[in-house]
Amino acid sequence: MKRSMDSEDCFMKKFKYYKSNKPKPSLEEVISLETYKFAKEVENITFTVRHDSRTRALGLHDISNWKAVSLSRHPGFIIIKNPFTSLGQRYWIRKCLEEYAKKPNKRNIDIDTDVDNWWEECFKNKEVDRKLQKKLRWATLGYHHDWDTKVYIEDNKGVFPAELAELCDVIALSLGYSKFRAEAAIVNYYHMGSTLSAHTDHSEVNLEAPLFSLSFGQSAIFLLGGHEKSIEPSAILLSSGDIAIMSKDARLCYHAVPKILPSSKQPWNDPTSVEKTDENFKYIKEDEIIDSMNRNLKEWTKFQAYVEESRINVNVRQVLNENQKCL
């Protein structure tokens, strides 16, 4: 039997509703883990691993202090509520802007610009090059995602960042995914007014492995539906530091971002969230620690200005099967 047009457009109707600016959408039905309003729709997750000696070195609180929930409507979808310290958020924000947006990683700006170091180029003159800053929408790491064919190939890959792979390993092990390998990532750079249309992530050879999605900066409304667009999606608020995991049944569900919202908090500036420790980040340079701790306020100001009006999303996935070494 043919479905009605109303049924087929269910996801799109929700997307358009939250995307709208006139009138502005109500946020009453947006699931937020910061309130108890939706307590009946979430279930607490118990971590498989409660301690990992690498957490501080990666800008994370101890796993014993993490909070994670699943959504009853969406089996396989998990949210870890901001496990990062304030210093940790600054570290990863800087990585995304300074390092992951550099060549030889692939970026959308490669089509019409010949800029090796995008972030440095934005500050070459006394005035910030806002136009160039807002041009960057995505960068791909490891196996590069092909936006046209949606197919990975062995000849189209770079070196996956060791620190990001280790971060994902800590997260994966905490949830019992002992065989996960981070092999590809897309870093999305959203500005106020940016959106991401409904899609599924089905390019990887291994669709059993979870997908890890990290958010930094401004908040986003995340829509998560089912395997068909006729299924009405849930609207979920993702804030800076939150980690969303799509596994099992949720792995191939339609999802989208219809709206970026101003964040009510700035957890990257929260002094109570910085764990006092003499340990250095494993991958961070001495001068970066000094900058991150605000001893060089001027340096951090550039990154602060960016995340005050933008959202960074890093989504990491495993491409190959467990015993596979190449495509």
Considering the segment(s) 10-317 as one domain, its CATH architecture is Sandwich (2.60)
Vertex 144 angle, CA 243 and 59, to 5°:
30
User: In the chain, which ranges are continuous DSSP H helix?
Assistant: 5-8, 10-19, 86-94, 118-122, 130-135, 162-174, 286-292, 297-307
Cα distance from N-terminal residue to C-terminal residue, the chain: 40
**Which segment, 39-48, 253-262, 299-308, is predicted with the most confidence on average?**
253-262
Report residue 4 CA to chain centroid gap: 35
DSSP H helices in 56-208: 86-94, 118-122, 130-135, 162-174
For the annotated binding site, the residues are 199, 201, 255
* Cα–Cα distance, 25 to 273 (Å, whole number): 32
How many Cβ atoms sit within 10 Å of the Cβ of residue 133? Answer: 20
Q: Is the pLDDT of residue 5 over 60?
A: no
Backbone angles phi, psi at 232, to 5 degrees: -65, 130
Domain ranges of the chain: 10-317
pLDDT over 70 (residue 7): no
**Mind listing the pLDDT tens digit for each residue in 42-61?**
899 999 999 999 999 999 99
pLDDT in tens, 170-201: 999 999 999 999 999 999 999 999 999 999 98
Quote the pLDDT of residue 126: 82
pLDDT band at 295 (very low <50, low <70, confident <90, very high): very low
> How far is the C-alpha of 186 from the C-alpha of 24, rounded, in Å?
30
- What's the confidence (pLDDT) of residue 125? 87
Q: Is 8's pLDDT higher than 80? A: no
Mean pLDDT value across the chain: 89
| pLDDT for res 281 | 57
The stretch 109-113 carries a mean pLDDT of 94
> Cβ(258)–Cβ(18) under 8 Å?
yes
- DSSP letter at 282 equals S
The number of CA neighbours under 13 Å toward the Cβ of 16 is: 5
| 312-316: average pLDDT | 98
Binding-site residue numbers for Fe cation are 199, 201, 255
pTM of the entire predicted model: 0.91
